[in-house]
Amino acid sequence: MNALTKRMNPSELDQWSNRWLDHVEQALSRWISPDAPAGLGEAMRYSVLDGGKRLRPLLVLAAREAVANGVPNPALDEAALRAACAAELIHAYSLVHDDMPCMDNDVLRRGKPTVHVKFGEAQALLAGDALQALAFEILTPDASAIPEGVQARLCRLLAQAAGHAGMAGGQAIDLASVGVALNEDQLRHMHRLKTGALLEASVMMGAACGAASEQALQGLQAYGRALGLAFQVVDDILDVIADSATLGKTAGKDAANDKPTYVSLLGLDEATSYAQSLLREALNALHDTGLTHTHTLAALAERVVNRNT
């Protein structure tokens, strides 16, 4: 039995997700203290809790499941839960800053007013900054909880994905690309950094919570890379075909902002087949890992590509 023969159906994935999302929500709520001073804690909690698909945490946890190979380990399970939350905190902070007036100037996110609309720009700036720091703080509890080698590896993966060669770098390219005609290589490079790096790192953080072979790590990385790109292609498609109420954020804003997208570059039909080919690539990469517990990762990739929000 390998990853491609054992399949997880949508309701099994829902069950798996719901169970883990409960843990993730509780952990986030425990770690984002409402006591942070002068309203900062409130703004941080508003930014993170009760919203979002939590794709990054689910990828961390599914990758941990793949490398755990059915053998529980409390310290590494705890490490994976922390990594799941840390990835979500980095994602959440990037949304808070990205929505600010000097960036995308967006007022609606997950169906609610954005953080700067609700709490003011200065508090939004600080909340984003504090969420980034918190991500690294929860990855590094005292030594008794999680082996320090795992802590260091998780910080390394997350920092590289968040920084100049990852998410922040991708945002800079995005900023510089408004009204610019990018070719497909340039668009792919931007997205690999802007959203792909953190999605890929989520998979690799889960993989770091276990003892995976070099072959398994390479397969998981290829899976993460294909999935990260597929996610963005589908995002571009949904920005065109979905409405704001379904998305929970302003639809059509890429075109309105004259931003290059896969749809503007390839057209809707070709973008849709590209997403499907990336899905096949992701599933093949899972097969190449040689791991047997990859069915959740496979089902997550299918959900990412076939989603409608």
* 44 touches its own copies by CB under 8 A: yes
* Among 176, 185, 199, CA closest to 259: 176
How many Å apart are CA 248 and CA 111, to the nearest integer? 4
- Overall size of the chain counted in residues: 309
d(CA 149, CA 309): 38
Contact segment (CB under 8 A) with its own copies among 73-81, 164-172, 210-218, 227-235 equals 164-172
Binding flag, residue 40, its own copies (CB under 8 A): yes
Could you report how far apart the first and last alpha carbons of the chain are, in Å?
33
Question: Rounded CA gap, 207 and 150, in Å?
Answer: 11
Burial 265-300 (b: 16+ CB within 10 A, else e): bbeeeebbebbeebbebbbebbbebebebbbbbbbb
Is 107 among the residues that bind its own copies (CB under 8 A)? Answer: no
The distance of closest approach from Cβ of residue 54 to its own copies in the complex, given in angstroms and rounded to an integer, is 21
C-beta of 8 vs 228, nearer to its own copies: 228
Q: Which of 143, 185, 214, 245 binds its own copies (CB under 8 A)?
A: 143
Joined tokens for residue 203: 């998979």
Alpha carbon 72 to its chain's center:
24
Residue window 8-37: x/- pattern of binding to its own copies, with contact defined by CB under 8 A? -------------------------x--xx
Q: Which of 47, 171, 195, 296 binds its own copies (CB under 8 A)?
A: 171
Q: Label the pairing between strands 108-109 and 112-113.
A: antiparallel
Name the residue nearer to its own copies (CB basis): 71 or 143: 143
The one-letter code for the residue type at 232 is Q
- Piece of the chain touching its own copies by CB under 8 A; list 21-29, 114-122, 273-281, 292-300: 114-122
Number of residues lying near its own copies (CB under 8 A): 59
- Of 65 and 98, nearer to its own copies (C-beta) is 98
What gap in Å lies between CA 221 and CA 201, rounded to an integer? 8
181 binds its own copies (CB under 8 A): no
Among 129, 281, 288, 302, binds its own copies (CB under 8 A): 129
Interaction of residue 153 with its own copies, rule CB under 8 A: yes
Stretch that binds its own copies, among 71-79, 161-169, 219-227, 283-291 (CB under 8 A): 161-169
In the complex, minimum distance from the CB of residue 114 to its own copies, in angstroms, rounded to a whole number: 14
